[in-house]
Copies of this chain bind each other. A is one copy, B any other.
Amino acid sequence: MAKYVYYFGKDGAEGKGDMKELLGGKGAGLAEMTNIGLPVPPGFTITTEVCVYYYRNKEYPEGVKEQVGAALQRLENEMGLNFGDRERPLLVSVRSGARTSMPGMMDTILNVGLNDESVNGLSKMTGNERFAWDSYRRLIQMFGDVVLGIEHAKFEEILQSVKEKKGLKYDYELSMDDLKEVVKQYKELVKKETGRDFPQDPREQLWFAIDAVFKSWDNQRAITYRKINNIPDEWGTAANVQAMVFGNMGEDSATGVGFTRNPATGEKKMYGEFLPNAQGEDVVAGIRTPLPISELERTISDAYRQLLNVAETLEKHYRDVQDFEFTIQQGKLYMLQTRTGKRTALAAVKIAVDMVKEGLIREEEAVMRIEPEQVETLLHPMIDPEAEVNEIARGLPASPGAVTGKVIFDPAEAAEIKEKDPEAKMILVRAETSPEDIAGMNACEGILTQHGGMTSHAAVVSRAMGKVCIVGCEAISVAREEFRAKDIVVKKGDVITLDGTTGRVILGDAPKVEASVMGEFAELLSYADKFRRLGVRANADTPEQARVAHNFGAEGVGLCRTEHMFFGEERIKAMREMILSDTEDQRRKALNKLLPMQRSDFIEFFREMAGKPVIIRTIDPPLHEFLPKTEEQIKELAEDMGISEKELKRKAESLHEVNPMLGHRGCRLGITYPEITEMQARAIFEAACQVKREGKEVIAEVMIPVVNDVREFINQKEIVDRVAKEVMQEQETDIRYKVGIMVELPRACVTADKIAKHAEFFSFGTNDLTQTTFGFSRDDVGKFVPEFIKRGILDFDPFQRLDEEGVGELMKMAVTKGKSANAEIELGICGEHGGDPSSIDFCHRAGLDYVSCSAYRVPVARLAAAHAALREKMKVERDK
């Protein structure tokens, strides 16, 4: 029979830390801590397989009941207690625990095993009758809510009414008799709501609780969380049954959570918070504000020292930052959970680099620990330190970065707005957040909460999402549709800025400055550079972008879209004149105006990227994109050109295309109007010669777009070569240059061998290649692609992540054919996918030489390229 239950206790654990798939993260952590001798209350884990079976078959697999019974028996023996005993009762907690942490998404039930008889046993055993009845009250309330589905508020009403009758303010002021009264009323409520008595059989309680934990895998907020975090529905959760320990047995008891290092900054110092004399759910409920963990040193110093040792043991054992939960029962420390600690990108980078220096991990490991996507947040702008800002409050800096947006209070509304307007920038402001707010949090740029600590729901989730977050900002008071900070009222829709790095809340839009790669981040990327094989270039349309990219470590420009230079005031006029010319002569006149402008841009590019390759693409988009749109523009241009508005409109109309994406563009323009390519080639080589004369090395690569056939390329290459020769002779300078193609049409992939005989490089334009391979117009897919993803017809948006199965297959064909014809051919990618880690991994596997992405994604790409290389290395080692 399959083993469904894994015991852990004084004789060690049946499970191990690497059995997360089977035992869930919590179960595996408890087993591992048990095995390395940390103080863990004994118990057992019911595997995720049981949950999966339960969902498939609507019943438990054979043998589970028996195995749970046996484990319970063993637990009773180990503890010297008996379940439901009127003298020495065993109490247990039942907790969920999936493969991956899903904080607060699923259910937990504590104090299982208490009934009208065992409550007396607990009372005798602990000598604390009040505690026993308080525990019983908690069980009925939690059980009623989670298992029986009775509204939480109804229990709160009873509790409140008893307190009011006695004129009490806090729960802990309730006397034993008060608690007995509460229990009595709670039981009546259960009877009334469910038609049944609160179950007195502890084994019935236990199975109810296990059912509830498994069922909570499919509650709405867990589903939403999984969707956002790409966790498969099929994984299921484990259920952990563990002997209760009590943090609520007096001032020498406590419960808390911590991190082995600071999860926000990465500082090497144990970090956390605790509540004295409390049970776990009190922390989560956020009703009492917890104390910083350092306070524990003062109040229960032995346990504090013990905890420091545990933290060190955990880090050494796991070789990573851990977060943990603990309970101190009458001075004795118990560990209830450990797992890899979530951290901000900032902290992740610092911790990884620090651990390399501490000799704890290797550089490779440090690199692999940072998700490429994560580091993009480090490149987010910061608030200009020089700027004067209107700070209205300060809270805890829970997740770093600076964002500005419109204030919104209702998470559901935020989610709605975002769906309609993906460009909407919002800041969610709440008293505190709870798991059902997740969709709304995801829709906002930043989160601000009045209450809660650095490990509150808002803080943990924001860090995981990479959202800017400030918590515990008690200086504000949040109402329905506004919040107050001192005497300032901020209403829905007002603009504020959050500085998640310092905790500042600022009124209005604060000026920001660009981030740069420094300190541990620079160090981490230097590790990455050692491992990656792919080069990383940047797509840059302006010299300014080239500068930014260079600072981020770009090893060249992979794509300069020259036509983007044509949109300046003066330039667009010359451009329009060129487009609307009737004769080659007229066109050349207009092109001559554009030549010096292009040349001066290229000079700056070559200067910035001296010694590095710069790929300049000849004109690409259909000409009518440059045409005047408004009546006013038309009038002005007609006057400038000395023709009638009617004539101008007629010409513009003749350029109209039904499907411009598949129209007269790219090299098709360069072929029908060779003088455009000539002008651009001249601008490139004149610029190159000038920069070379300044003593800088120039490597120019001229890229011909929208090529279908080798003859198109040969046509354009002849022009480029001819002009290059002319300019180099005129200027008596020699320039290293290549001419290649942008591979963005299926036909170019299919005929890549023929093209590669003449082309010196291929750069995959995967945006257009995706459009033509799928027959998807980027501008029009909004009508169905999101729906296709929702329905599972598409796994992802192929414009965001490269479609390996289709587009990738064509790319591989082009690579194979291209190399077969020209072993020296340089291969790269310059579509948006060049900055997407999963796509970069593909490019590595497909044998490209480099990726090119937007400037701000260069560090992401450097890291992703290293990941790809290391993954391959690991695979090779595994396969040995």
A contact residues vs B (CB 8 Å cutoff): 657-664, 668, 671-672, 706, 708-709, 711-712, 715, 744-747, 750-751, 754, 768, 771-777, 779-781, 783-784, 787-788, 791-794, 803, 805-807, 809-810
CA distance A809 to B814 in the complex (A): 13
Contacting pair B791 A671 (CB below 8 A): yes
CA distance A781 to B235 in the complex (A): 52
On whether A664 and B805 interact (CB within 8 A), knowing A671-B791, A708-B775, A777-B659, the answer reads no
Q: How far is the CB of A799 from chain B (nearest CB, A)?
A: 12
Q: How far is the CB of A46 from chain B (nearest CB, A)?
A: 35
CA distance A787 to B657 in the complex (A): 17
User: For residue A788, which residues in chain B have a CB less than 8 angstroms away from its CB?
Assistant: 668, 671, 712
Instruction: Specify the chain B residue showing the minimal Cβ separation from A434.
Output: B658
Q: How far is the CB of A430 from chain B (nearest CB, A)?
A: 15
Q: How far is the CB of A432 from chain B (nearest CB, A)?
A: 10
Q: How far is the CB of A26 from chain B (nearest CB, A)?
A: 36
User: For residue A664, which residues in chain B have a CB less than 8 angstroms away from its CB?
Assistant: 780, 783-784
* Residue in contact with A783 in the complex, picked from B663, B750, B777, B810, CB distance below 8 Å: B663
CA distance A711 to B794 in the complex (A): 8
User: For residue A775, which residues in chain B have a CB less than 8 angstroms away from its CB?
Assistant: 661-662, 706, 708, 744-745, 747, 768, 772
Contacting pair B658 A660 (CB below 8 A): yes
Instruction: Specify the chain B residue showing the minimal Cβ separation from A661.
Output: B659
Contacting pair A658 B661 (CB below 8 A): yes
Q: How far is the CB of A84 from chain B (nearest CB, A)?
A: 53
Contacting pair B658 A793 (CB below 8 A): no
CA distance A751 to B808 in the complex (A): 11
Contacting pair A662 B663 (CB below 8 A): no
Contacting pair B779 A657 (CB below 8 A): yes
* Residue in contact with A774 in the complex, picked from B658, B745, B792, CB distance below 8 Å: B745
CA distance A47 to B803 in the complex (A): 59
Provide the main secondary structure of the chain A interface: helix
On whether A793 and B659 interact (CB within 8 A), knowing A772-B775, A773-B750, A806-B751, the answer reads no
Q: How far is the CB of A627 from chain B (nearest CB, A)?
A: 15
User: For residue A772, which residues in chain B have a CB less than 8 angstroms away from its CB?
Assistant: 662, 746, 772-773, 775
Q: How far is the CB of A455 from chain B (nearest CB, A)?
A: 13
* Residue in contact with A780 in the complex, picked from B662, B711, B747, B810, CB distance below 8 Å: B662
On whether A805 and B751 interact (CB within 8 A), knowing A657-B780, A746-B772, A773-B746, the answer reads yes
Number of identical protomers:
2
User: For residue A711, which residues in chain B have a CB less than 8 angstroms away from its CB?
Assistant: 792-794
Contacting pair A777 B658 (CB below 8 A): yes
CA distance A160 to B637 in the complex (A): 64
Extra inter-chain contacts (9) besides given A657-B779, A662-B771, A747-B774, CB under 8 Å: A661-B662, A662-B772, A672-B783, A672-B784, A709-B793, A747-B806, A747-B807, A750-B809, A751-B809
Q: How far is the CB of A815 from chain B (nearest CB, A)?
A: 14
Q: How far is the CB of A741 from chain B (nearest CB, A)?
A: 13
User: For residue A777, which residues in chain B have a CB less than 8 angstroms away from its CB?
Assistant: 657-663
CA distance A779 to B771 in the complex (A): 18
CA distance A663 to B658 in the complex (A): 12
Looking at A744, A747, A775, A806, the one whose CB has the most chain B CB atoms below 10 A away is A775
User: For residue A662, which residues in chain B have a CB less than 8 angstroms away from its CB?
Assistant: 659, 661-662, 771-772, 775-777, 780
CA distance A768 to B776 in the complex (A): 12
Contacting pair A793 B712 (CB below 8 A): yes
CA distance A774 to B793 in the complex (A): 26
* Residue in contact with A750 in the complex, picked from B668, B779, B810, CB distance below 8 Å: B810
User: For residue A806, which residues in chain B have a CB less than 8 angstroms away from its CB?
Assistant: 708-709, 746-747, 750-751
Give 25 pairs: A residue, B residue, CB < 8 Å, sorted on A.
A657-B780, A658-B780, A659-B662, A659-B777, A660-B777, A660-B780, A662-B776, A662-B777, A663-B783, A668-B788, A671-B787, A706-B775, A708-B775, A709-B793, A709-B806, A711-B792, A711-B793, A712-B793, A715-B791, A747-B803, A750-B805, A750-B810, A751-B805, A768-B775, A772-B773
CA distance A677 to B657 in the complex (A): 31
Q: How far is the CB of A217 from chain B (nearest CB, A)?
A: 26
Contacting pair B773 A672 (CB below 8 A): no
CA distance A744 to B774 in the complex (A): 10
CA distance A806 to B809 in the complex (A): 15
Q: How far is the CB of A368 from chain B (nearest CB, A)?
A: 32
Contacting pair A784 B671 (CB below 8 A): yes
User: For residue A750, which residues in chain B have a CB less than 8 angstroms away from its CB?
Assistant: 773, 805-806, 809-810
User: For residue A779, which residues in chain B have a CB less than 8 angstroms away from its CB?
Assistant: 657-659
